[in-house]
Structure 1
């Protein structure tokens, strides 16, 4: 499908739609932009930056310095395009649901121990593979198939990185239940204990490995030599 040009004077679309096209056609995924560039692109349009921020409600991902320490306070990174809002049918189908209230957000985050339910990182914690990025938690809706086959929209805590990398697939309790029932009785009891504690247990081998990985490289070399001897 050929996209309309973001600055086509014949395009009958609002600033949010034009902003989405501008991000794709001018900025490009993975690149940065700032408010001054928005003002230059949309002269005379008040709150154009807010209209572009509204794209987040349609799955568009734009990172700020709060999520990526390599960015300045003025810059944002266009990370990922979401719903093609220039398509009226797609936009209507993805019209954001009623916002989750602050009270609901706090209750969900407290239930999830203020950790991402996908990767387990806590809010404000640096990612182990990228110390420049710190986790920002949000509460999102997840379509979920329950054990009886019914479908429900449930609230979960996710970090922005996991949310942006999500493929949008429906969560399936029935599949998880089937996987657990295929475990032997001992493993079923073990995973139930993990569920009750809210975290996975570790074996002595895993604890020893994690201790080893925390050592400086030279110390790891010394340890390997000591074990071989």
Structure 2
């Protein structure tokens, strides 16, 4: 079997950003070593969606573990170097992708929310580069591991949760216990139900909010006005009683 070629110069802009970030990880970071989000963006200044290109490597067997909220910001570790995406023979392989129709089906099925943390697109996410959540469609079983390209093998995740799916994001159990201790009894019952089901279920008000966010600006304004009038009328009626 012919050996895979060495990684190219990651600074060579003739290569695509996916190949460049793979070469940077392989030659600069090195398998088993850590790096930060800031170092990644500093290396690829002006390159858009560089984190997404890095996450794309997971479908080629690359494993990158994410540690959020560390002393140096979001830290990551290159667990395993996967397939040589820079190899010409690799690039000739036709790989399945998420078609637009499939993406819309998955997003609609998951109610346009991250199935891990529950965030909707555009909602505040301090761990995201722009501070707002961006939704992506994730393969539960990677295609490189024989996973199906059918929507039954797809799930909606925000970019932050998707970044941590390849490894085991480090979470302090004591911090989780502290948060749980602050919950009311009713909130603990809800959390327990989520744990039992293995996913966060949404309430009617959350589903209404998601649907509202997909209205046009004009429709949103009309909806707010209508709801405001309904609430004001209800308050007035209750005071009259």
TM-score by length of 2: 0.39
Higher relative contact order (CA 8 A, sep 6+): 2
